Structure 1
């Protein structure tokens, strides 16, 4: 179990400044890691949690030895993305031959993954309850230029692939005036939901760590809102 971390955060809302402690931050310690775990780490030009690693050893109180996982594309558009070196965050992954020592501050979250019976690969897909960034208007014909100029929408996962061959997601929108708080988006009083097939899950950009803030309603923010990790927000939505 992950050891709880406490950090005082200050969020600005028009006319209000307030702080609270949260059990969530990147001040990990050696007690948070165990050999064989899969973690997401921040990397790449956008510095988002799009790279998966397997924990091999705890080196010091601030460093961990890991081996990177690499995608195992199956469908044509997945193979094309890997050839163009576009990040793939959903699907099958295998252990690469690249091992490095990383600072614990580079780790984002512990990944839920399912190993194959012979432990040759891992299956990583969005899990019910998680918050993810999804590419807007993604389709299987996307090229590198489409990826580089894309925008993302924020969604909550409502069902798992374990339940059927697609997942249901709900569209989230920013709480007005609160750059890191998101809640369900509605149209004419109805929640905006739709399904994503397994073959289209390459359209997910990355998971965004998020948590609830009890008592936030007193500041005019819906209690059902999620507070999203600021540095994991899609680049065009970061503060």
Structure 2
């Protein structure tokens, strides 16, 4: 959590997942990363970093005192673990594959996502994945929030290349899972 910005220096306090159930407790005991869920301020520090250490701002909602909820939001792009399992180890995580998906809708119990696929001849441009002309949509229960690997900063294209890429997503090159590059 960013506490203060002074020129190119940023003072932070560290946050950690505040487990909301046995699955999340099991996940953090295995020292696996979590990018969405309820987070609490772990410790206040005066550590500072330069701006090069940060990729993008994450939107959080205030929870209880010193806790913040970070979940996918409609219109964002996220990487999701393929074939995800609560039984994964650090080794499983290091060799896993990913989906790239646009968040279509978030309800009280489900996140609906549209799978994206890379556009041929463009390194970081993605479009909706279709199978038999049908867009590939998945519903992920909020109870599987650990399946979300990380948010990918992105923007939708409009008039680039005479509008031929209109509605497609250009993704941040540093955040795209490596096999897609």
Following the alignment from structure 1 to structure 2, what is the Cα–Cα distance between the partners of residues 214 and 169? 21
2:93 is paired with a residue of what secondary structure? Answer: helix
Q: How far 1:143 sits from its partner (Å)?
A: 2.2
Query: Aligned partners of 1:146 and 1:98: how far apart in 2?
Result: 32
CA distance in 2, matches of 1:85, 1:140: 13
Deviations 1:25-45 (A, max 9, x none): xxxxxxxxxxxxxxxxxxxxx
Aligned residues: 180
Q: In the alignment, what sits opposite 1:102?
A: 49
| Post-superposition offset of 1:181 | 0.2
Unaligned runs of 5+ in 1: 1-53
User: Aligned equivalents of 2:138 and 2:177: distance in 1?
Assistant: 21
**Following TM superposition, by how much is the alpha carbon of 1:195 offset from its aligned partner in structure 2, in angstroms?**
0.6
Cα offset for 1:189?
1.0
**Residues 198-237 of structure 1 mapped to structure 2, 5 A cutoff:** 198-218=142-162, 221-237=164-180
Alignment of 1:3-22 (within 5 A): none
Large movers: runs of 4+ above 4 Å: none
Q: Tell me the distance in 2 between the aligned counterparts of 1:125 and 1:97.
A: 22
Partner of 2:2: 55
Structure 2 distance, partners of 1:119, 1:196, is 28
Contact 1:67 1:97 in 2 (8 A): yes
Q: TM-score, normalised by structure 2?
A: 0.92
Structure 2: any 5+ residue segments left out of the alignment?
none
Q: Is the 8 A contact 2:159 2:165 kept in 1?
A: no
Are residue 132 (structure 1) and residue 78 (structure 2) matched?
Answer: yes
Is the Cα contact below 8 Å between 1:77 and 1:141 reproduced in 2? no
Match of 1:26 in 2: none
Contact kept, 8 Å, 2:36 with 2:146, in 1: the verdict is yes
1:144-223 pair list within 5 angstroms? 144-160=90-106, 163-218=107-162, 221-223=164-166
> For 1:77 and 1:179, how far apart are their aligned partners in 2?
36
Q: Supply the RMSD in Å over aligned alpha carbons.
A: 1.6
